């Protein structure tokens, strides 16, 4: 059984791994994320190494073991399921869910999580558009890509906007776009990256600048299988 604190260390390691697109994590980096001193991280690392949850050598980088990763993903799964629950069932806003989910993610009960998952009808993404690991520990890819990262021929789903100016938002509406809309990228101009997209059967042309301000997720890849940080190798 892992302590509340140990779980947080593993979760932070996983998060950094995702953000960096690399398995290698530094002591200071981890200390920053957890808001503790590097010395503290060092102590904990010894314990986690002892328990075979991380691998690291003196002055080297930290990586999660398979078992450490499994535990971290389990915590992440709980966190994101609870966020989804709070958002959908209890009218919490985007900014409110995180803090409470930080606490709820440590509740120990397999049955509770299974029931929660079922209750929410097995959601794949949390309210922030981040993917929820499934029971097997598989995670759909979501690197906070923008529409401009999507390859020609592929589809994605809009989850958020980067620019919140009203002029931009009005433009978004005009194109017929909204949260959760499926967007297919039909073509991309080589010269200026002008995109032709299709939303609800309607085709539109949008500039690169526009595309860079639309956050999307691609729902078809599992981390570690076919996707990298910048490129998403979908076969639909």
Partner DNA sequence: TAATAAAGTTAGGCTAATCTAACATAAAAA
Partner DNA sequence: TTTTTATGTTAGATTAGCCTAACTTTATTA
Q: Which residues bind DNA (CB under 7 A)?
A: 3-6, 26-29, 34-40, 42-45, 47, 56, 58-61
Indicate which of a second copy, DNA, none lies near residue 108 (CB less than 5 to 8 Å, by partner kind): a second copy
Residue 74's binding partner out of a second copy, DNA, none, with CB under 5 to 8 Å set by partner kind:
none
Q: Is 3 in the site for a second copy (CB under 8 A)?
A: no
- Binding partner selected for residue 60 from a second copy, DNA, none, CB under the kind-specific 5 to 8 Å limit: DNA
Work out whether 91 is an interface residue with a second copy (CB under 8 A).
Answer: yes
Question: Is-contact 201 177, C-beta < 8 A?
Answer: no
Least distance (Å) between residue 58 CB and DNA? 4
Q: For residues 20 and 28, which CB has a smaller minimum distance to DNA in the complex?
A: 28
Which residues face 185 on adjacent strands?
197
Residue burial 174-210, b: 16+ Cβ < 10 Å; e: rest: ebebeeebebbbeebeeeeeebebebeeeebebebeb
Beta carbon nearer to DNA, 9 or 215: 9
Contact residues for 157 (Cβ-Cβ < 8 A; gap 6+): 180, 181, 182, 183, 216, 217, 218, 219
Binding of a second copy at residue 100 (CB under 8 A)? yes
Residue 169 dihedral angles phi and psi, to the nearest 5°: -65, -35
Alpha helices, H only, the chain: 4-20, 27-34, 38-50, 66-89, 94-104, 110-119, 166-174, 208-211
**135 part of the interface to a second copy, by CB under 8 A:** no
Under the criterion CB under 8 A, does residue 115 sit at the interface with a second copy? yes
User: Is residue 116 involved in binding a second copy (CB under 8 A)?
Assistant: yes
Tokens coding 95 = 């900014």
Distance CA 101, CA 81 (A): 9
C-alpha of 36 from chain center: 24
Residue with tokens 């929660």: 116
Find which of a second copy, DNA, none residue 96 binds, CB within 5 to 8 Å per kind. Answer: a second copy
CA distance 174 to 192: 22
The smaller minimum CB distance to DNA, of residues 34 and 222, is found at 34
* Near a second copy by CB under 8 A: residue from 24, 52, 90, 192: 90
4 vs 191, which CB is nearer to DNA?
4
Q: Does 109 bind a second copy (CB under 8 A)?
A: yes
| Residues near a second copy, by CB under 8 A | 86, 89-92, 96, 99-100, 103-104, 106-109, 111-112, 115-116, 119
């Amino acid at each position: 059984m892992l302590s509340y604190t140990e779980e947080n260390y593993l979760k932070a390691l996983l998060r950094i791994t995702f953000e960096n697109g690399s398995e290698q994590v530094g002591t200071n980096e981890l200390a920053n994320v957890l808001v503790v001193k590097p010395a503290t991280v060092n102590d904990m690392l010894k314990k986690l190494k002892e328990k075979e949850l991380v691998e690291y050598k003196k002055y080297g980088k930290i990586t999660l073991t398979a078992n450490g990763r499994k535990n971290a993903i389990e915590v992440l799964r709980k966190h994101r399921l609870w966020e989804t629950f709070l958002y959908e069932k209890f009218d919490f806003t985007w900014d409110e869910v995180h803090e409470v989910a930080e606490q709820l993610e440590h509740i120990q009960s397999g049955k509770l999580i299974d029931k929660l998952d079922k209750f929410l009808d097995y959601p794949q993404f949390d309210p922030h558009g981040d993917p929820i690991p499934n029971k097997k520990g598989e995670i759909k890819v979501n690197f906070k890509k923008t529409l401009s990262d999507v390859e020609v021929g592929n589809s994605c789903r809009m989850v958020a906007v980067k620019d919140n100016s009203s002029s931009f938002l009005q433009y978004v509406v005009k194109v017929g776009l909204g949260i959760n809309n499926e967007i297919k990228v039909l073509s991309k101009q080589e010269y200026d990256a002008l995109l032709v997209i299709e939303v609800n059967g309607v085709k539109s042309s949008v500039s690169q600048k526009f595309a860079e301000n639309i956050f999307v997720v691609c729902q078809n890849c599992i981390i570690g299988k076919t996707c990298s940080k910048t490129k998403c190798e979908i076969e639909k």
